Structure 1
């Protein structure tokens, strides 16, 4: 991705919650020597409801970054 370009990263795994996914992506960008600005965090739409008693129901997540 060229400087000033955008990167979208998505996950449909319940093995990593949103914070773990965000942290892993941020660390990976840093290791690649890329500066980044998180622009948007997305989660499941209304057709995939989150159930508080079932953490695994929050498996859909997306992050959109601007890279420098």
Structure 2
């Protein structure tokens, strides 16, 4: 009876990536900075920036 060979975890992961590709990104979109100036919180998009820039003075944080 022949012994069944089990692939190593690395080989298994390589084969899965070869067949299915990278299913999940390393970081999510809210963890990445895209076009940020560095002075705004991470994960903020253009619409949120507009609302912050046009916020009435009585809504500014103290």
Q: TM-score range by the shorter chain?
A: under 0.3
Q: Which has the larger radius of gyration?
A: 2
Superposition TM-score, scaled by structure 2 size: 0.28
Bigger share in strand: 1
Structure with more of its chain in helix, by fraction: 2
TM-score (norm 1): 0.26
